[in-house]
Amino acid sequence: MPTFPTQFPVEPRIGRIKGFKAAGIHAGYKKDGALDFALIYSETPCVTAGVFTTNLVKAAPVLVDMERLRANSTGIRAVVVNTRCANACTGQQGIDNALMMARWTAERLGIREDEVLVMSTGVIGTQLNMDIIRRGIDLAADALADDETAWANAAAAIMTTDTRPKAASVKPDNAAYAIGGIAKGAGMIAPNMATMLGLVVTDAQIDDPHAAHALLTKAAAVSFNCISVDGDTSTNDTLLLLANGASGEAPQYNPFSEMLRDVCLRLAVEIVRDGEGATKFIELVVMGAGGGERAIANTIATSPLVKTAFYGSDPNWGRIVAAAGRAGVEVDPMQMRLWIAPWDEAEGELLLFENGAPTAYDEARAVGIMAGANIRVRLECGRGTGSATVYTCDLSHDYVSINGHYRT
């Protein structure tokens, strides 16, 4: 299992976070009886920040939440989530249904309608089944609890093609507050608010919504915006941060920022590791590209030819170099050097390409590295000291099968 440069120990679960309750239940969207509806509730109003999809085709819940946070970023109390229906490209009825979803939740919890945010994930172009939504709200409200099981159920209830729930939390010994988050995503993941839904909560006291937004944006920049499964950016991508202050402790900016980053990074990496049909996890580091490191990394990470080479355990370095050359960044192949390595780097890096040509590398060792489940790739472009890291996965037959029959 890969490890990451986190400053704090990150747990793959959420325990009690003061003032928050969670629930995940079966409302009726998933025919196999699996959990398919989640509710997160805070006993007190939360300072809330959100980062949303950059796709110009935005789902109804995204539009509703963006507007709601513009008007009320200091009083959010609940987030309600359904699966199997994205409520995207559904016109005014979709907006009305998202608002009704929030209104029913507010009525059931005894709070104001503008204190509820909504999330949806699933098939684009279908309307919400409001009977299922109403039933889900009632059942979830009854199931709210503040323990680890409740959070685990919520994480499971927001999954679509995910094969496992994703949760993470941090609580340092010297702090009264904790941070915990859940996320879903396996396909339609690109490094620009990668179909992901993410919800992070903390009982730390953050009074300024602008500070909360800055913290969340900074964390997303090195986590959810650094992952790619297939290069597609969803209509529904949403990442929320809710801070209710129940711990009574106002955190120092830098330690809290690092904790938030660590939680988001763990969730983001787990999304890539659970990519649809994925068999390989790849960390891709691009260095010295004169400020174009991220553009090159994204181009390599989303290249079907690169990703299929990883699937086939083929050390086809030419595909990586060629992708770097079409990223729209000035590069000189004579200055480029390319290494691959197993994740633990026990054998060290293997140099495949430099001075504009392949090296006399050991092909068998290269194939062995590419056959591993966790691989590091490093591309040095020879122009400056900049660096960017992107996490991606391979592209397999199963990805095509999953998405070729997504609706049918």
Token pair 């309600």 is found at 80
Tokens at residue 368, please? 């062995």
Position 267, amino acid: L
Distances (CA, A) of 8 to 61, 166, 204, 241, 260: 33, 18, 16, 19, 10
Q: Could you tell me which of 250, 244, 248, 180 has the C-alpha nearest to residue 43? A: 244
- Three-state DSSP at 123 gives strand
Tokens at residue 317, please? 């370095």
DSSP state of 145: B
Residue 290 main-chain phi, psi, to 5 deg: 60, 35
Question: Between vectors from CA 312 to CA 394 and to CA 326, what angle results, nearest 5°?
Answer: 60
Q: Which of 195, 202, 233, 302 is catalytic?
A: 195
Displacement of CA 273 from its chain's centroid (Å): 11
Q: Could you tell me which of 221, 274, 249 has the C-alpha nearest to residue 12? A: 274
195 is annotated as an active-site residue: yes
Displacement of CA 29 from its chain's centroid (Å): 23
Catalogue the active-site residues.
195
